[in-house]
Amino acid sequence: MTRRRNLLTALGVTTLLVYLTTSTGLVEGDNKLILALAFGIGPMAIVGILGLVERLGPHASDRMTRLSRIFLVSAFVLFTLMVIVQQLTVMQFASLRAAADPATAESLKLIFKGVNTLQLGIDVTFDLFYCIGVIVLASAMYRHPEFNRIVSIFGVMSAGALLALNLYAFPNVPAESGLVDLGPVTGIWWLMVIAQVVRSRWRTRVDPLPA
């Protein structure tokens, strides 16, 4: 059981680090390692989320934990689809433009803008499911003894603001509309959640319950 929990924690931290470094531009490129890490964000997140929802257990509403599980798992399936479609589109059009004459390359650039709307639509769909899932999950943590209310409120507010900005900027993404991208802020919330889990485990080991 301890190994399983440690694995889930490691998966959660790895997923967040990959997401934060790629979404903020700290790591860029199209090499195989970076692509593999990016493609792994969704599956790793799903495993971590299922473990976290299970951990909430009897201290949270069954309905809220079920809803958060459904929305967040759906969100990260959409996220994986979005990343793969995005990278496939960019790489294919880049190779076509590199081999084309200037006039054809300009035409391909216009075609790319039209085709790229597909992954942007998937991105908005992901944000919708993701934000609702985080709001429900954070709300379920409000009265949980392991997660303080500050963590719960921060999750609700950051995900709610992210959802509002995405809906306001639609059909564009917030960054293209001159608005701030709060996606990394929700990533910080996930780090706070993982820190609370690790802290709770450490306290349990140091101060075991009496027999």
Q: Six-digit token pair at 10?
A: 């490691």
What pLDDT was estimated at residue 14? 61
**Selection from 151, 162, 200, 187 nearest residue 15 by Cα:** 187
**Tokens representing residue 48 in the block:** 């971590």
In the block, tokens 């564009």 appear at: 172
- pLDDT by residue (tens digit) across 107-141? 777 777 777 788 888 888 999 999 999 999 999 88
**Token code pair at residue 126:** 């992901």
As a whole number, mean pLDDT of residues 159-172 equals: 90
Whether the Cβ atoms of residue 52 and residue 11 lie closer than 8 Å to each other: no
> Taking 60 as the threshold, does the pLDDT of residue 197 lie above it?
yes
pLDDT band at 143 (very low <50, low <70, confident <90, very high): confident
Tokens encoding 166? 């995405």
* pTM attached to this predicted model: 0.77
Chain mean pLDDT for the chain:
77
Interval 1-24 mean pLDDT:
54
Closest C-alpha among 143, 131, 145, 108 to residue 187: 131
The reported pLDDT for the residue numbered 179 is 82
